């Protein structure tokens, strides 16, 4: 993920904490900031004129969950026990069953214990425990005695040092002990966001199985869960002498290129080119009858613009392609035999753009920053069958992808892959 994304999220979370402190200032009839911020005392519902857990949820937990990227349903129906015994929320935008248990500040242990009870019912697979300050993701396993025990999935993150620092800056607490110098607001919140954002949790719980199933479905129609009617392999227009392994390599290369373009767009490297706008322009009026989107736009973008030095570009190229940066890492050069003879119909490109590039936008960006999708699918998901179909081309594609990342990071955008701050 980019520095810009993390910095923006960090600023939002800081605003949520400031808003929470504002809420406590207004609601607490008797100020108790020293006890609850500097120490570890609990909030008092009577002092707040509101249930303490609901106060923390409304002012801190729900806003932070939104910034982290989680769609959630508060107080979901839970088919076990009475209506007062249910998780505090259910995450809706993760493939796995994930619930959350909230408590008031400084009561993280209670949240964790209650969560273990819900997870032990085996109706949910993972759970988020939080008191607004401390956050962790757990699953339940049986110990040697058969008892349920929580196991870390995302290690605990604690943003209380930030709360203390901001409360001190506002003069809400008295204190004698200095905070450690390395506990900066940006450092603590940056680490928290990187560990706990939607993509980070999705990856930690193995939720990327669905993403890579879609990847294979779009490529060859072989996924287990998705339904793609116009996958690349079934719709590809290949040269007459192309082998099946070369066609499969072309499809994998195309998806790696599209993923890399999405990453470059997110990092602001190719601001002059918008795939969505170009697609809309292609489908306007008679433009679509001049050839496929692949042949009229993507081919020139790959071979005549991104992989060509500006001084060597054809003057007939459209203006938006004249100004894209030159990438010499090799990903957009011709890597396969007779590569210019391939074409993809608009129906297939539309599927790639809508279901994969846009539909999985943030996950695609983060996976592209990690490396070649082809390599990740092969190595991390231990599916070497795909790579075995075209071993020579596999090496060329993965090598070109790494070379392109290294070139862009050394010459254009140094934080292409990682957050530096």
Q: pLDDT tens digits for 64-76?
A: 999 999 999 998 8
Interatomic CA distance for residues 10 and 32, integer angstroms: 27
- Quote the pLDDT of residue 413: 76
Residues 72 and 111 in one domain: yes
Residue 43 lies in a domain: yes
Residues 160 and 269 in one domain: no
Whole-prediction pTM value? Answer: 0.73
Residue 416 lies in a domain: no
Residues 191 and 285 in one domain: no
What integer is the mean pLDDT of 119-131? 82
Residues 8 and 148 in one domain: yes
Indicate the pLDDT class of residue 206, thresholds 50, 70 and 90: confident
Residues 185 and 303 in one domain: no
> Which strands, in side-by-side order, build the sheet including 98-102?
72-74, 89-91, 98-102, 126-130, 134-142, 148-158
Interatomic CA distance for residues 419 and 189, integer angstroms: 13
Give yes or no for a contact between 254 and 353, defined as CB atoms under 8 angstroms apart.
no
- Quote the pLDDT of residue 241: 95
Strands 72-74 and 89-91: antiparallel
Q: What's the half-sphere exposure (Cβ side, CA atoms, 13 Å) at 289?
A: 2
Q: Burial level of 37, CB count in 10 A (0-12/13-18/19+)? A: buried
Residue 322 pLDDT greater than 80, yes or no: yes
Q: Which residue shows structure tokens 């082809």? A: 374
Residue 307 lies in a domain: yes
Single residue among 204, 230, 258 that ends a domain in this structure: 204
pLDDT digits (tens, 9 = 90+) for 36-45: 999 999 999 9
Residues 216 and 195 in one domain: no
Q: Which residue shows structure tokens 């819900």? A: 118
Residues 192 and 215 in one domain: no
Interatomic CA distance for residues 404 and 332, integer angstroms: 9
* More reliable by pLDDT, 278 or 207: 278
- Quote the pLDDT of residue 357: 94
Output phi, psi for 235, to 5 deg: -110, -5
What integer is the mean pLDDT of 380-404? 85
Q: What is the 3-state secondary structure (H, E, C) of the chain?
A: CCHHHHHHHHHHHHHHHHHHHHHHHHHCCCCCHHHHHHCCCCCCHHHHCCCHHHHHHHHHHHHHHHHHCCCEEECCCCCCCCCCCCCCEEECCCCCCEEEEECCCCCHHHHHHHHHHHHHCCCCCEEEEECCCEEEEEEEEECCCCCEEEEEEEEEEECHHHHHHHHHHCCCCCCCCCCCCCCCHHHHHHHHHHHHCHHHHHHHCCCHHHHHHHHHHHHHCCCCCCCCCCCHHHHCECCCCCCHHHHHHHHHHHHHHHHHHHHHHHCCCCCCCCHHHHHHHHCCCCHHHHCCHHHHHHHHHHHHHHCCCHHHCCCCCCHHHHCCCCCCCCCCCCCCCCHHHCECCHHHHHHHHHHHHHCCHHHHHHHHHHCCHHHHHHHCCCCHHHHHHCHHHHHHHHHHHHHHHHHHHHHCCCCCCCCCC
pLDDT digits (tens, 9 = 90+) for 281-300: 998 877 778 899 999 999 99
Interatomic CA distance for residues 100 and 102, integer angstroms: 7
Residues 50 and 166 in one domain: yes
Q: What are the residues whose beta carbons fall under 8 Å from the beta carbon of 17, sequence distance 6 or more? A: 60, 159, 162, 163, 166
What integer is the mean pLDDT of 200-209? 85
Residues 18 and 118 in one domain: yes
What integer is the mean pLDDT of 269-285? 88
Residue 420 lies in a domain: no
Interatomic CA distance for residues 172 and 136, integer angstroms: 28
Residues 50 and 163 in one domain: yes
Residues 310 and 183 in one domain: no
Hey, what are 36's tokens? Answer: 């609850």
Residues 196 and 221 in one domain: no
> Out of 7-11, 42-46, 77-81, 319-323, which region has the weakest mean confidence (pLDDT)?
77-81
Residue 84 pLDDT greater than 60, yes or no: no
Closest CA to 246 of 113, 135, 337: 337
Single residue among 183, 204, 225 that ends a domain in this structure: 204
Single residue among 185, 204, 223 that ends a domain in this structure: 204
Percent of the chain predicted with pLDDT > 90: 63
- Quote the pLDDT of residue 182: 54
Domain that holds residue 195: 3-204
CATH number at residue 8: 3.90.1570
* More reliable by pLDDT, 371 or 223: 371
What integer is the mean pLDDT of 224-232? 75
Residue 421 lies in a domain: no
Question: What's the number of domains the chain is made of?
Answer: 2
Residue 417 lies in a domain: no
As a whole number of Å, the end-to-end CA separation of the chain is 12
* More reliable by pLDDT, 147 or 157: 157
Residue 57 lies in a domain: yes
Residue 176 lies in a domain: yes
Interatomic CA distance for residues 232 and 348, integer angstroms: 6
Output phi, psi for 375, to 5 deg: -70, -45
Residue 382 pLDDT greater than 70, yes or no: no
């Amino acid at each position: 993920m980019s520095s810009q994304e993390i910095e923006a999220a960090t600023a939002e979370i800081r605003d949520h904490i400031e808003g929470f402190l504002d809420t406590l200032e207004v609601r607490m009839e008797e100020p108790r900031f020293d006890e609850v911020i500097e120490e570890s005392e609990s909030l008092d519902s009577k002092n707040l004129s509101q249930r303490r857990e609901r106060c923390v949820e409304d002012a801190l937990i729900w806003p932070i969950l939104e910034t982290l990227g989680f769609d959630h349903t508060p107080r979901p129906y839970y088919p076990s026990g009475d209506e007062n015994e249910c998780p505090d929320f259910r995450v809706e935008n993760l493939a796995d069953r994930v619930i959350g248990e909230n408590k008031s500040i400084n009561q993280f242990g209670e949240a964790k214990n209650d969560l273990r009870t819900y997870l032990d019912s085996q109706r949910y697979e993972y759970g988020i425990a939080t008191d607004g300050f401390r956050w962790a993701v757990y699953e339940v396993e049986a110990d040697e005695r058969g008892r349920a025990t929580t196991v870390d999935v995302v290690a605990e993150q604690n943003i209380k040092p930030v709360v203390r620092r901001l409360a001190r800056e506002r003069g809400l607490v008295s204190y004698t002990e200095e905070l450690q110098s390395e506990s900066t607001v940006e450092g603590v919140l940056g680490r928290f966001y990187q560990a706990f954002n939607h993509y980070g949790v999705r990856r930690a719980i193995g939720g990327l199985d669905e993403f890579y199933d879609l990847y294979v479905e779009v490529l060859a129609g072989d996924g287990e869960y998705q339904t793609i009617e116009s996958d690349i392999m079934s719709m590809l227009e290949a040269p007459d002498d192309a082998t099946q392994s070369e066609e499969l390599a072309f499809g994998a290369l195309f998806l790696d290129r599209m993923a890399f373009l999405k990453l470059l767009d997110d990092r602001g490297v190719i601001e002059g080119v918008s795939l969505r706008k170009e697609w809309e322009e292609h489908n306007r009026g008679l433009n679509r009858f001049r050839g496929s989107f692949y042949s009229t736009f993507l081919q020139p973008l790959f071979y005549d613009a991104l992989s060509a030095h500006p001084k060597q570009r054809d003057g007939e190229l459209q203006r938006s392609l004249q100004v894209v940066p030159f990438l010499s890492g090799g990903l957009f050069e011709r890597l396969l035999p007779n590569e210019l003879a391939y074409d993809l119909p608009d129906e297939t490109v539309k599927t790639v753009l809508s279901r994969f590039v846009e539909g999985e936008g943030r996950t695609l960006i983060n996976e592209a920053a990690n490396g070649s999708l082809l390599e990740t699918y092969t190595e991390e998901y231990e599916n070497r069958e795909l790579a075995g179909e075209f071993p020579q081309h596999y090496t060329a594609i993965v090598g070109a992808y790494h070379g392109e990342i290294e070139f862009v990071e050394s010459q254009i955008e140094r934080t292409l892959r990682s957050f530096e701050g």
